[in-house]
Amino acid sequence: MTAIVDPAAFSHPYTLIGIAAVLLSAISAGYVARLEHSRHARLFAYLAGLYTLGAAGALGEAVFQPFGLKTLSGTVLFVASTVAAPPLFCYFTLAYTDRTEWLTRPVLVALVGIPAVLFVVGITNRLHGLYATPIRLVDAGGLRAGDSELRIGGQLQVLYIYVVDGFGVGLLAAHYRRHRGSLRQQGLPLVVGGVLSLAVGLVGLFDLHPYPAIDIGAFGFAVSAPFFLWSLYDHDLFDIVPVAHRRVVEGMDDGVAVVDTGGLILDVNERLAAIVGVDREAVVGEPAAAVFGEVEGFDRAIPGSADPADEIAVDRDGGTRYFAVRQSTIRDGRDDRVGTVTVYSDVTERKRRERQLIRQNERLDRFADTIAHDLRSPLSVARAYATQLDGGNDEDVEKVTTSLDRMNRMIDDILAMARNGETVTDPESVSLAAVARQAHESLDTTAATVEVETDRVVACDPDRLQRLFENCFRNAVEHSSTGNRTRSGDAVEHSPTGSQTGSGDAVEHTSTGNRTESGDAVEHDHEGVRITVVADAGGFRIDDDGPGIPDDDRNRVFDSGYTTSAEGTGFGLSIVENIAHAHGWTVSVGESPTGGASIRVRTDGSGAEGETEGEAQVRA
């Protein structure tokens, strides 16, 4: 019985080389597949797997004795190393260097179509003999190895392999030639390994070794495998992939710098190089502190530094440019820190607009103060004369002074509108209950009782929150009284005096009397309107037991100047809205549990969820 393995194989030097080639290739494939999950790593693992099969095929073709096993091993070698591996290697190098845009339809057809056609020519060689001469067994140092001469099909196959593999290695070399530091250290083993693999193939092609009948070209990847593993283990081969150079770094309008964990510059884009005034090729591989530390402004935000400034000012082109600085850590698939990317965004135009807006606001404040002063002065004089009138109609005098007071409140409200809408930038944590009680005390009125049923704390501007409560309380007082109210399903009319009852008729806000709902009287057992401050989902509510706000009016109550009270200015709830907006809150109006008005303030920005039908929602 013929032994499967040729006895001479155990002492043949190429047997050990073949076994080492298979093991190294398999280790490379397994190591990458186990540790890495990026597309480039997967491509490399597939490629190493093909070369492992090819090396195993070459080894089997040399050491197996049965002709059938030799033929099967040769087929594995042919399919894996000769047909499949070269186009995959080319695609890997294109993807790794981010040149996949070169894979146009004609290129793809050539890259895949040529080996496919030659594969068909090779497996049908017995029919036409265009690929190679028939295989004959020859002595190779004691081993019986298959040998043949390549014809036109096989010669084209070899030409294709070396053109594609040479292109891939050249692409890697060209890419890394202009890099320094970690990227060059990462790429050098990759390029050296590719060159050695090509060299081993050429040695086998031109029979420059003792046993030409044994195809040692399939062992070429094994020679390069240690270099690949070196680059993978020591230089994070698939962690800082060159794709960042073109897509992320070069493709951004902002200035970008990438540094490794040692503070060496891996890359800067053209934008940042122009801003700093350096040659981007010359600074790669240099310490970031040495390059950026010498540039005024950038010395406060050196790429990769522990605590860079959030914003820097740089004098350039006869003026000052402002840059916002953002820094992020780059981590690999094992969550190890492998570098840092720092982005410098030009915010000069934004800063200019901010300064212009500040100046405009300052001018508006001065203008508002001037107008308020100029209006208050004649109002004060007119009120003084009105109070000195003697012998006149007291009712007329009261109307005059009331109107003058109302004009004075309008001035206050207009000033509040101008000032309370500015965004709150330094909020404090305060108690709603404490601020609500202060607001009630500041009103100095007995026309309302305020009950606080919440211990909630909110982040806010305390003064503006107090103004919000004051305006809500004042609105409740102005539109309510201890008088009667009639509820109907129709419109509600506000008037300073009188009452009206009846189902389906208009309802007027009155100064005396009872509230009647659908013909049934409901007496108040307290003086004035009752106001309750309670916690609500996502914020708080200010409820009163007054006549409420009709559905048709709810979409207008926050409009500046809109009022249904003869004594109102029409700015109270508009100011409430402005204050809410300044805090990033939302405000809406609805109906309280007692049928009065309910002002709902959402401090979590959750919007109008849970509103009753007909509520008006005003979003910040």
568/439 same-domain check: yes
250/395 same-domain check: no
136/230 same-domain check: yes
Residue 391, pLDDT above cutoff 80: no
Residue 194, pLDDT above cutoff 70: yes
CATH number at residue 280: 3.30.450.20
Average pLDDT (334-338) is 68
Q: 383 or 579, which is more confident?
A: 579
Beta strands in 523-612 (DSSP E): 529-536, 539-544, 586-591, 597-602
Residue 159, pLDDT above cutoff 90: yes
Residue 134, pLDDT above cutoff 80: yes
Q: Where are the alpha helices (DSSP H) in 206-337?
A: 220-235, 243, 270-276, 280-283, 288-292
If one counts every other C-beta atom within 10 angstroms of the C-beta of residue 559, the result is 14
If one counts every other C-beta atom within 10 angstroms of the C-beta of residue 250, the result is 16
358/336 same-domain check: no
Residue 181, pLDDT above cutoff 70: no
Query: Does residue 538 sit within a domain?
Result: yes
- Is there a contact between 257 and 275 (Cβ–Cβ < 8 Å)? no
276/291 same-domain check: yes
Residue 511, pLDDT above cutoff 60: no
Q: Given this model, what pLDDT does residue 561 score?
A: 66
Mean pLDDT of the chain: 78
- Is there a contact between 115 and 70 (Cβ–Cβ < 8 Å)? no
If one counts every other C-beta atom within 10 angstroms of the C-beta of residue 320, the result is 12
Q: 525 or 66, which is more confident?
A: 66
Confidence of residue 172 (pLDDT cuts 50, 70, 90): confident
Residues 590, 568: Cα–Cα separation, whole Å: 20
84/138 same-domain check: yes
Average pLDDT (344-373) is 80
Q: Given this model, what pLDDT does residue 507 score?
A: 33
Mean pLDDT check: name the lowest of 393-402, 434-443, 594-603: 393-402
Q: What does DSSP assign to residue 100?
A: G
% helix / strand / coil in the chain, to the nearest 5?
50, 20, 30
Residues 421, 577: Cα–Cα separation, whole Å: 9
Query: Does residue 503 sit within a domain?
Result: no
Residue 324, pLDDT above cutoff 90: yes
Mean pLDDT check: name the lowest of 56-70, 269-283, 359-373, 520-534: 520-534
Residues 382, 385: Cα–Cα separation, whole Å: 5
Q: Which of 450, 512, 441 is nearest to 476 (CA)?
A: 450
Q: Which two tokens stand for residue 212?
A: 């030409």
Residues 85, 64: Cα–Cα separation, whole Å: 24
296/444 same-domain check: no
Residue 174, pLDDT above cutoff 50: yes
Residues 507, 491: Cα–Cα separation, whole Å: 7
CATH number at residue 85: 1.20.1070
Average pLDDT (246-259) is 73
Q: Which of 229, 235, 234 is nearest to 184 (CA)?
A: 235
Q: What percent of the chain has pLDDT over 70?
A: 77
What letters, b where the CB count within 10 A reaches 16 and e where it falls short, cover 267-291? bbbebbbebbebebeebbbbbbbeb
Confidence of residue 343 (pLDDT cuts 50, 70, 90): very high
The most confident of 6-10, 21-25, 328-332, by mean pLDDT: 21-25
Angle between helical axes of 462-478 and 432-443 (0-180°, round to 10): 50
Residues 469, 533: Cα–Cα separation, whole Å: 9
442/299 same-domain check: no
102/49 same-domain check: yes
Q: Given this model, what pLDDT does residue 86 score?
A: 93
Q: Is the pTM of this model over 0.75?
A: no
Query: Does residue 23 sit within a domain?
Result: yes
Q: Given this model, what pLDDT does residue 519 score?
A: 35
Confidence of residue 490 (pLDDT cuts 50, 70, 90): very low
Q: 499 or 441, which is more confident?
A: 441
356/339 same-domain check: no
- Is there a contact between 436 and 465 (Cβ–Cβ < 8 Å)? no
Residue 297 gets the label, from left (phi > 0), alpha (psi -120 to 50) or beta, of left
217/312 same-domain check: no
Q: Given this model, what pLDDT does residue 599 score?
A: 93
Q: Given this model, what pLDDT does residue 358 score?
A: 80
**Domain containing 283: what range?**
244-346
Confidence of residue 232 (pLDDT cuts 50, 70, 90): low
Q: Given this model, what pLDDT does residue 175 score?
A: 77
Q: Give Dmax over CA atoms of the chain in angstroms.
A: 144
Average pLDDT (300-309) is 90
SS3 327: strand
| Side-chain half-sphere exposure of 603, counting CA atoms within 13 A | 17
- Out of 235, 258, 287, pick the residue that ends a domain: 235
Residues 6 or more apart in contact with residue 607 via CB below 8 angstroms = 586, 617, 619
Q: Given this model, what pLDDT does residue 418 score?
A: 59
Q: Which two tokens stand for residue 272?
A: 């940042």
- Is there a contact between 84 and 50 (Cβ–Cβ < 8 Å)? yes
pLDDT in tens, 104-118: 889 999 999 999 999
- Out of 235, 267, 294, pick the residue that ends a domain: 235
157/133 same-domain check: yes
pLDDT in tens, 562-592: 676 655 566 778 888 888 988 889 999 999 9
